[in-house]
């Protein structure tokens, strides 16, 4: 109903009370056109017309002015003299989003009659049991299927049944694992079907699905959940061993995870624990062996960073090092930000190692026993000021960015917040720019803590400065960690002229002293000139004549 309303509202040239009428008449006219004029079997013409509302709406708007009594005649007349791109309607009807059409639509074809296999393949699949509006899944991920003859496709589907599956099961498997149609993956496909036969039969998944209703939707749903862990495992190992067995999982607790939890729930947990930088197969095993983790609030629950580290066994000296060296992560944090808090500490791998291999209870127990913790008073006062500001939405999104990269709810975070400029999206692009140059996540966070204004530079400016720093100055990006302020100086009017003047001094052997990058760039203009004079009385003259930017005041 929502989809219907969304498309009805697009017909701006038609009075509201006639919009549903226009769509229903449009579907009827399109069905008649495809069946009677284009000779497409009625059942498929009807499927295409009823499931291509975007394309149909666009077609109706081309008619211009609207007259209810004459609308059916006008539309039929339009179709008679203005042939449509039938592939657009077909692709939308099988569930492909119109935004993907540019990369999928044939460039040299307009009518189904120009493609000898497309509709025949769709017919075979639909008659076998594939829902028409889900055929797009196969087309996008395994488009070769629609290039096969009907006999080839029937043979392939019957081959899948010979593994011991019925039609509805084969449909669910194929929709979840479209690569089974890839003839180059014969061994992988054979192994997959063998594993699924064990999961469905010996481990009882088939009985559970049949109890739910035994529909294509049910089989597709359970296969998609299996696919989550299949992909994490890289398809390399026996999926039965991962889901139904293993040294810590002999009773098949992984099957319970598949049965009891939805695909979205599993995907969110997978994405969460992958953010700790763990191997994907380790994340799969963690979730399948630690079902209790799926009951945690991994987004809004608030925890105290230092208390968590102590609970996880960090030594007193280690906790003290964190307190002194990583003040920006201290205080309370939401569980949703915890992965990046650990990355900001450089402890993400350590944290995951603590909870894997059957030790997930450590996290479950801590969250269960952790009382509601109070926020830092300085943070709370600043938060109230943000909420009362003239642009609270912008300011809160900027603060959320800091939390999302591991900054805790503390006064230092608020101090950093006041010195940065930009939207959340802009700040993320600048942060990602620094990561792309190979600076470690936790070191970028420390750079921001020491010199927040580095994130006020646009990515292009950051790239130019880093490239000059590394390529012309011959420095490692690690040098920026100790001197992040470098990124805030003007490249053309400060960094380049001063460095090139310094290089001239060295080349002329005027000074044996090797000045640091910070000394070259950060020194004030007056002190820089005074130092040049001490190096050689004629040096300032050469500086002003050859290097000093013309647009700077003397």
Question: For 82-115, how does the pLDDT look when each residue is reduced to its tens digit (9 = 90+)?
Answer: 888 888 989 999 999 888 888 888 777 888 888 8
pLDDT (0 to 100) of residue 226: 94
CA distance linking residue 26 with residue 45, whole number of Å = 13
The number of folded domains in the chain is 3
Residues 199 and 130 in one domain: yes
pLDDT (0 to 100) of residue 68: 82
Decide if 313 contacts 246 (C-beta within 8 A): no
Is residue 454 situated within a structural domain? no
3-state helix, strand, coil in the chain (%, to 5): 70, 0, 30
Lowest mean pLDDT among 2-6, 232-236, 500-504: 2-6
Question: For 241-255, how does the pLDDT look when each residue is reduced to its tens digit (9 = 90+)?
Answer: 888 764 344 456 688
Q: How confident is the model at residue 369 (pLDDT cuts 50, 70, 90)?
A: confident
Of 233, 260, 287, the residue that ends a domain is 260
Question: Residue range 260-268: average pLDDT?
Answer: 94
Residues 102 and 171 in one domain: no
CA distance linking residue 468 with residue 86, whole number of Å = 54
Q: How confident is the model at residue 485 (pLDDT cuts 50, 70, 90)?
A: very high
Of 206, 226, 260, the residue that ends a domain is 260
pLDDT (0 to 100) of residue 155: 93
Residues 158 and 244 in one domain: yes
CA distance linking residue 334 with residue 408, whole number of Å = 9
pLDDT (0 to 100) of residue 2: 42
Please work out, in degrees rounded to the nearest 5, the angle formed at the alpha carbon of residue 460 by the alpha carbons of 457 and 464: 95
Greatest mean pLDDT among 376-380, 409-413, 537-541: 409-413
Flag whether pLDDT at 136 surpasses 70.
yes
CB burial string 251-282: b at 16+ within 10 A, e below? ebbbbebbeebebeebeebbebbbbbebeeeb
CA distance linking residue 95 with residue 470, whole number of Å = 49
**Average of per-residue pLDDT values in the chain:** 88
Residues 249 and 156 in one domain: yes
pLDDT (0 to 100) of residue 248: 42
Taking the C-alpha atoms of 29, 31, 36 and 40 in order, what is their torsion angle to the nearest 10 degrees?
160
Residues 106 and 146 in one domain: no
pLDDT (0 to 100) of residue 250: 45
Is residue 303 situated within a structural domain? no
- Taking phi first (over 0 means left), then psi (-120 to 50 degrees means alpha), and beta for anything else, what does residue 164 get? left
Residues 133 and 20 in one domain: no
Residues 128 and 255 in one domain: yes
pLDDT (0 to 100) of residue 547: 81
Is residue 290 situated within a structural domain? no
Is residue 330 situated within a structural domain? no
Question: Residue range 480-492: average pLDDT?
Answer: 94
Residues 155 and 214 in one domain: yes
**Residue 30, domain extent:** 16-114
Question: For 277-298, how does the pLDDT look when each residue is reduced to its tens digit (9 = 90+)?
Answer: 999 999 999 999 989 999 999 9
- What share of the chain has pLDDT > 90, as a percent? 58
Decide if 34 contacts 40 (C-beta within 8 A): yes
Q: What is the CA radius of gyration of the chain?
A: 32
3-state secondary structure 165-225: CCHHHHHHHHHHCHHHHCHHHHHHHHHHHHHHHHHHCCCCHHHHHHHHCCCHHHHHHHHHH
Is residue 332 situated within a structural domain? no
Residue among 181, 173, 213, 178 at smallest CA distance from 197: 173
Question: For 519-532, how does the pLDDT look when each residue is reduced to its tens digit (9 = 90+)?
Answer: 999 999 899 989 98
Residues 80 and 135 in one domain: no
Is residue 409 situated within a structural domain? no
Question: Residue range 25-48: average pLDDT?
Answer: 89
Is residue 468 situated within a structural domain? no
Question: For 334-350, how does the pLDDT look when each residue is reduced to its tens digit (9 = 90+)?
Answer: 999 999 999 999 999 99
Is residue 499 situated within a structural domain? yes
Decide if 61 contacts 101 (C-beta within 8 A): no
Determine how many CB atoms are found less than 10 A away from the CB of residue 1.
5
pLDDT (0 to 100) of residue 247: 39
pLDDT (0 to 100) of residue 8: 52
Of 216, 233, 260, the residue that ends a domain is 260
Run of H or E including 303: strand 302-304
pLDDT (0 to 100) of residue 16: 80
Flag whether pLDDT at 465 surpasses 90.
yes
User: Got the DSSP string for 482-517?
Assistant: H-GGGGGS-IIIIIHHHHHHHHHHHHTT-------H
CA distance linking residue 193 with residue 250, whole number of Å = 21
pLDDT (0 to 100) of residue 446: 95
Residues 156 and 245 in one domain: yes
pLDDT (0 to 100) of residue 158: 93
Residues 61 and 145 in one domain: no
Greatest mean pLDDT among 10-14, 118-122, 233-237, 457-461: 457-461
Flag whether pLDDT at 222 surpasses 90.
yes
Residues 45 and 159 in one domain: no
């Amino acid at each position: 109903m929502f989809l219907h309303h969304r498309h009805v509202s697009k017909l701006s040239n038609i009075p509201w009370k006639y919009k549903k009428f226009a769509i229903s008449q449009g579907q009827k006219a399109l069905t008649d056109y495809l069946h009677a004029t284009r000779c497409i079997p009625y059942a498929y013409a009807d499927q295409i017309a009823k499931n291509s509302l975007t394309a149909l709406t666009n077609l109706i708007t081309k008619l211009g002015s609207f007259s209810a009594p004459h609308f059916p005649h006008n539309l039929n007349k339009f179709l008679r003299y203005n042939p449509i791109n039938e592939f657009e309607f077909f692709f939308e009807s099988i569930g492909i989003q119109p935004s993907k059409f540019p990369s999928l639509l044939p460039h040299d074809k307009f009518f189904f009659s120009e493609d000898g296999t497309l509709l025949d393949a769709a017919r075979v699949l639909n008659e076998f049991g594939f829902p028409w509006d889900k055929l797009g899944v196969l087309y996008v991920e395994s488009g070769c299927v629609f290039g096969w003859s009907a006999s080839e496709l029937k043979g392939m589907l019957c081959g899948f049944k010979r593994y011991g599956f019925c039609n509805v099961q084969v449909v669910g498997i194929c929709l979840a694992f479209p690569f089974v149609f890839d003839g180059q993956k014969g061994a992988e496909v054979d192994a997959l079907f063998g594993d699924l036969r064990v999961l469905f039969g010996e481990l009882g998944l088939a009985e559970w699905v049949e109890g739910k209703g035994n529909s294509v939707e049910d089989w597709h749903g359970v296969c998609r959940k299996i696919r989550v862990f299949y992909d994490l495992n890289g398809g390399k190992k026996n999926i039965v061993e991962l889901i139904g067995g293993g040294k810590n999982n002999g009773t098949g607790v992984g099957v319970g995870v598949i049965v009891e939890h939805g695909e979205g729930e599993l995907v969110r947990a997978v994405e969460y624990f992958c953010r700790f930088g763990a191997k994907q197969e380790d994340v799969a095993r963690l979730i399948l062996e630690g079902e209790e983790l799926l009951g945690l609030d991994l987004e809004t629950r608030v925890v105290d960073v230092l208390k968590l580290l102590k609970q996880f066994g960090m030594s007193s000296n280690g906790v003290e090092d964190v307190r002194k060296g990583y003040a920006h992560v201290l205080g309370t944090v939401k569980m949703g930000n915890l992965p990046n808090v650990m990355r900001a500490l450089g402890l993400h791998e350590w944290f995951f190692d603590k909870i894997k291999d059957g030790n997930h209870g450590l996290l479950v127990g801590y969250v269960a026993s952790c009382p509601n913790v109070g926020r830092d008073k300085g943070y709370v006062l600043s938060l109230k000021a943000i909420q009362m500001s003239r642009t609270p939405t912008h300011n809160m999104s900027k603060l959320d960015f800091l939390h999302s990269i591991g900054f805790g709810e503390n006064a230092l975070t608020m101090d950093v917040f006041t010195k940065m400029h930009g939207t959340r999206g802009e700040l993320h692009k600048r942060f990602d720019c620094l990561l792309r140059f190979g600076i470690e996540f936790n070191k970028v966070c420390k750079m921001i803590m020491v010199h927040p204004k580095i994130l006020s530079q646009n990515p292009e400016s950051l790239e130019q400065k880093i490239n000059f720093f590394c390529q012309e100055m011959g420095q490692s990006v690690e040098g920026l960690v100790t001197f992040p302020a470098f990124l805030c100086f003007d490249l053309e009017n400060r960094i380049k002229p001063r460095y090139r003047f310094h290089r001239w001094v060295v080349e002329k052997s005027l000074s044996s002293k090797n000045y640091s990058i910070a000394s070259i760039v950060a020194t004030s203009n007056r002190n820089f000139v005074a130092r040049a004079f001490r190096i050689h009385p004629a040096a300032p003259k050469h500086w002003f004549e050859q290097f000093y930017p013309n647009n700077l005041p003397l």
